[in-house]
Amino acid sequence: MRTGRKRLSGRSQACPVDERRRGRAIMSTATKLLCLRPADPIRLETRRTAMPRPGKGEVLVRVEATSVNPIDVKRARGYGQRLLSHKGAGKFPLVLGNDFAGEIVSVGAGVSPWRPGDRVMGLVPTGRKGGAHATHLTVDARLVRTAVDGVASAALAAFPYTFTTLWLALRGAGINEGNAKAQKVLVHGASGGLGQLALQILAAWGASVTAICSTANIELCRNLGATAVWDRTRCRLQELPEHFDAGLNFGAWEDEATLIGRLRHGALGYVTAVHPLLGNIDRGGLLAGAWRSRLDWRRMQSLANAKGARYRWIIFQPDEGALDMLHHFLARGALTLSVGVSVSIDNADLAFEHVANHKQGRAILLPMGALSS
């Protein structure tokens, strides 16, 4: 992967120091990681910008860690551009990233209870303002939660985006703590970020989870709570029993009809995160792409409905309830997501490469690392 990077060479070059609070420099400029244009190899560059100021209801956060997810790699290559442009989020250069862990620097009008110095984690919506791949960002104070004590920012930042999507998926499938016990749940893409969180939560709720993954990840899925593991590289999905109460597809849209076919009659629900909505619109434009997606959705919905199951497509969006639940699980030490690589933003290409090559473990950027190296 080639990158058009502008290296930061040290703290002195980074920013003038206005004052010191809590022993830390208050910067007058921020650094953002820009994705320059839709391309493969991905084109990334760091750029200095004016320090953002928190508006009413916002906090300014010094980002200590932020994650690179599959959607960031796809968007960097142009995926989703046509639909996201309608939200003001498709225009390059783009700042990607949907979550972060860090420290509050200042708060806007009407914000409580946050104070400068609070350690937090949070979510950034996909929108006009740009994402979390930066040294500093302003964010709606409602999308911030207290960082869990004893968990490093690099570990925390792996969670908010992935957990929120997973939480929306569980909700979409109609699975909750109250009804999960003894339910048979099929999870495709079980060894990925969404899948790993699904395994841990569903196992904790007493569900019986069948994980679909490739050979190398069988042990990982077992260790995270799968009751059975199906090696997708050796066994056909059609041979899975037709007895599942719910299905979560985090693996591949191509397998959608087959997986729905594995639900039992009277099943609860089925959810996919790997639907073709954005891809259809990229290929066909807004109207034709939306129409194509409606046909795709209707076809799968009728298969699910024939089993008595509800059918949903998940689209990530910030969710305060999900953030509350994330804090709840993390505070109990009940969730893990291994980090495969963590690098400063001036080495962001390594993190994007890690995700693009489907390597195990999450990819984390350490924006302030760029300033202190």
- Return residues touching ligand NAP (CB under 6 A): 69-71, 162, 165, 189, 191-195, 213-214, 217, 232, 250-252, 273-274, 314-316, 358
CB 293, min distance to ligand NAP, A: 12
Residue with token string 């199906």? 230
Nearer to ligand NAP, 135 or 165 (CB): 165
| Nearest in space to 116 (alpha carbons), one of 141, 95, 99, 134 | 141
Query: Nearest to ligand NAP by Cβ — which residue?
Result: 192
CB 275, min distance to ligand NAP, A: 7
Nearer to ligand NAP, 114 or 250 (CB): 250
Give Cα 223 to chain centroid, integer Å. Answer: 22
CB 27, min distance to ligand NAP, A: 31
Nearer to ligand NAP, 14 or 158 (CB): 158
Q: Where are the beta strands (DSSP E) in the chain?
A: 17-21, 24-27, 29-35, 44-50, 58-68, 99-107, 119-123, 136-140, 144-146, 184-188, 208-213, 228-231, 246-249, 269-272, 310-313, 339-344, 362-366
On whether the CB atoms of residues 218 and 231 are closer than 8 A, the answer is yes
CB 163, min distance to ligand NAP, A: 10
CB 355, min distance to ligand NAP, A: 7
Nearer to ligand NAP, 70 or 247 (CB): 70
Nearer to ligand NAP, 25 or 350 (CB): 350
Nearer to ligand NAP, 278 or 366 (CB): 278
165 is written with which tokens?
Answer: 């999507």
End-to-end CA distance of the chain: 23
Pairs from 323-329 (Cβ < 8 Å, separation ≥ 24): 323/122, 323/123, 323/143, 323/145, 323/160, 323/164, 324/145, 325/163, 325/167, 326/121, 326/145, 326/159, 326/160, 326/163, 326/164, 326/167, 327/145, 327/146, 327/148, 329/163, 329/201
For the chain, the maximum distance between any two Cα atoms, rounded to a whole number of angstroms, is 66
CB 105, min distance to ligand NAP, A: 29
Nearer to ligand NAP, 204 or 237 (CB): 237
CB 297, min distance to ligand NAP, A: 13
CB 164, min distance to ligand NAP, A: 9
Per DSSP, the residues of 276-330 read SHHHHHHHHHHHHHHHHHHHHHHHHHHHHHHTT-EEEE------HHHHHHHHHHH
Nearer to ligand NAP, 95 or 199 (CB): 199
CB 9, min distance to ligand NAP, A: 33
Nearer to ligand NAP, 27 or 278 (CB): 278
Q: At residue 158, what is the residue type?
A: A
